[in-house]
Amino acid sequence: MALKSAIEWTESTWNPVTGCTKVSSGCRHCYAERMAARLQAMGQANYRDGFALTLQPQALELPLRWKTPQTIFVNSMSDLFHEDVPCEYILRVFEVMRRAYWHRFQVLTKRSARLAILAPDLPWASNVWMGVTVESAQYVQRIDDLRQTGAPLRFLSLEPLLSPLPALDLTGIHWVIVGGESGAEARPMDPAWARDLRDQCTAAGVPFFFKQWGGANRKQAGRVLDGRTWDEMPHVRATATHFAGRVAAGGAA
């Protein structure tokens, strides 16, 4: 069984790498670091080293065993493009995603410079969505790095949103997620920042997904923006239909 996720914009998670190190301001109150500490305390074998970056080769082929098509967030507990993840291992992850063509895979990184360097050598299958996190105006260069890749679907995670992001260039971007930081020490998100990004997406014809307001009690704060939820998704062919078509044609994983 896939590990079902409570993250609003995905269905399941897959962690062939665990652990990370902080690289920018959005990492200050990392939810994955807190979760890793809890899992280590519970005796979970993959987190015996806590949040130290660890390759998990035994998990590499898990998606090939999950036969029900689903949307899978890759490395929710790490960053695939961390400098300590060998290039060969990244290629192995991409090869598994290519073979598991009936799923959709969402890869998200803050290390966009390394992504741009490695992108020409990666097999960009049609079921791989590539995204970058941009938490403040200081990191908009990550969007340009993302545009350099051959990813068939490129998305932005503007979370935790820590500053306004006016006049973003959304050329070549197919989806935008926005959310505030959550947790006891959450830094506030100005509602005007979220509204402006929604309006930018609307003007550019880019699907907009509002994940949460965040705060100390994110469930109480909710995710309603101006009277409604915003759950827009990229305009792609349904994976289940694609899977059925491949099977009918005699395709194999």
Q: What is the pLDDT of residues 46-104, one digit of tens each?
A: 999 999 999 999 999 999 999 999 999 999 999 999 999 999 999 999 999 999 999 99
CATH number belonging to domain 3-14+60-248? 3.20.20
Rounded CA separation 129/127 (Å): 7
Distance of CA 84 to the CA centre of its chain: 19
Q: 3-state DSSP call for residue 28?
A: coil
Rounded CA separation 155/170 (Å): 10
β-bridge mates for residue 127, sequence order? none
Please give the model's pTM, rounded to 2 decimal places: 0.92
Query: Which tokens in the block code for residue 207?
Result: 């699907």
What CA dihedral angle connects 44, 47, 51 and 56, to 10 degrees?
Answer: -140
What does the domain layout of the chain look like in residue ranges?
3-14+60-248
- pLDDT band per the 50, 70, 90 thresholds, residue 235: confident
Residues 6 or more apart whose Cβ sits within 8 Å of residue 90: 80, 81, 118, 122
- pLDDT band per the 50, 70, 90 thresholds, residue 244: very low
